[in-house]
Amino acid sequence: MQSYSLSHLQQLESEAIFIMREVASQFERPVLLFSGGKDSICMVRLAEKAFFPARLPFPLMHIDTGHNFPETIAFRDALVSKLGVELVVRSVQDSINEGRAVEETGPNPSRNGLQTVTLLDAIEEFGFDAAFGGARRDEEKARAKERFFSHRDQFGQWNPRQQRAELWNLFNGRKQVGEHFRVFPLSNWTEMDVWQYIAREKLAIPDIYFTHEREVVNRKGVWLAKSSYITLMRGEQYEQRQVRFRTVGDMTCTGAVESEADSIASIIQEVAAAKVTERGSRTDDRRSEAAMEDRKKQGYF
């Protein structure tokens, strides 16, 4: 008999497509959370493939902290207009203005945690009952235990001890009114898988992933980009460095790495030789050992 087999990346792709189709069929109003980062760019490609030749049966939503890299926003808008998909933007600044969220103070004020307020409000406003996220189990230890279909209660909270068993490829998206699901089609992907997929699919990504000269300040071992949202502390100064970003988040918490990588191929080489995880340069995860789990319980991405 002829041998039929798929490579691991083909299997991961097929699994993600299957999950996206399940969500589109099991839920009334799904949405794809889009940050402009490499994982959500892969997600958009997978969604295109899942419903081809039809258009995406759900909108994209960006929770805008107001502290984004301008390059990411420009990239987001270009991608949306190219694909002709609907984009919803809800901003943390509006939540602050309306008094629903309060800005952090200090030298490193981050809006990372405040996104949860804006996100949950937006989910309620539009009646979204399933939100796709690009999170992967390999990136963070709390995420290593999360399900593909992750239940959220009426307050948008995740209860890690009461997760539903998830067996075979049978995904239980049943819920009560007012509850919703977060769904993670890339659960089984690693950072390397994402980069190899970007290379294979020839996907465009924002420029900040590639090497460039930038003014940065070293704060507790993390290189932060110069921006109006950061106040220099005593003894700190900006310096010009050849850097790139391994993840794309808020400017206030996303650290750069010194790098010469100027192509996807050279990024792949760099990722393969990396000694630190991609979230090692995220100050939002460093706040405490269970920082991610605690934020997730509140309703974070």
Considering only residues 252 to 271 of the shown chain, the ones binding other proteins according to CB under 8 A are 265, 268-269
Residue 166 binds other proteins, judged by CB under 8 A? yes
Point out which residues pair with 6 in neighbouring strands. Answer: none
Q: How far is CA 142 from CA 138, 139, 216, in A?
A: 10, 9, 30
- Determine contact, residues 133/21, Cβ cutoff 8 Å: no
Residue 272 binds other proteins, judged by CB under 8 A? yes
Q: Which of 59, 66, 109, 280 binds other proteins (CB under 8 A)?
A: 280
Question: Judged by CB under 8 A, how many residues of this single chain contact other proteins?
Answer: 72
From residue 5 to residue 44, the character string flagging contacts with other proteins as x (rule: CB under 8 A) and all else as - is xxxxxxxxxxx-xx--xx-xx-------------------
Residue 163 binds other proteins, judged by CB under 8 A? yes
From the CB of 162, what's the least distance to other proteins, in Å? 8
Q: Is 196 helix (H, G, I), strand (E, B) or coil?
A: helix
Q: Which of 151, 123, 96, 137 is nearest to 33 (CA)?
A: 123
From the CB of 225, what's the least distance to other proteins, in Å? 20
Question: DSSP letters along 55-77, please?
Answer: PPSS-EEEEE-S---HHHHHHHH
Q: Which of 87, 89, 96, 199 binds other proteins (CB under 8 A)?
A: 199
From the CB of 196, what's the least distance to other proteins, in Å? 5
Contacting other proteins within 94-153 (CB under 8 A): 137-138, 140-145
Q: Is the peptide bond before 53 cis (omega within 30 degrees of 0)?
A: yes
Q: Which of 39, 121, 284, 293 binds other proteins (CB under 8 A)?
A: 293
Residue 81 binds other proteins, judged by CB under 8 A? no
- Determine contact, residues 175/212, Cβ cutoff 8 Å: no
From the CB of 200, what's the least distance to other proteins, in Å? 6
Point out which residues pair with 255 in neighbouring strands. Answer: 224
* Cα–Cα distance for residue pair 263/97, rounded to 1 Å: 41
| Span of 45-53, 62-70, 112-120, 234-242 interacting with other proteins by CB under 8 A | 45-53
| Span of 61-69, 155-163, 222-230, 246-254 interacting with other proteins by CB under 8 A | 155-163
Query: Smaller CB distance to other proteins: residue 93 or 266?
Result: 266
Which stretches does DSSP call E strand in the chain? 30-33, 60-64, 87-91, 130-132, 149-152, 180-183, 212-219, 222-225, 239-245, 255-258
Residue 167 binds other proteins, judged by CB under 8 A? yes
From the CB of 98, what's the least distance to other proteins, in Å? 32
CB count within 10 Å of CB 4 equals 5
Q: How many residues does the chain have?
A: 301
Residue 154 binds other proteins, judged by CB under 8 A? no
Residue 177 binds other proteins, judged by CB under 8 A? no
From the CB of 97, what's the least distance to other proteins, in Å? 34
- Determine contact, residues 32/57, Cβ cutoff 8 Å: no
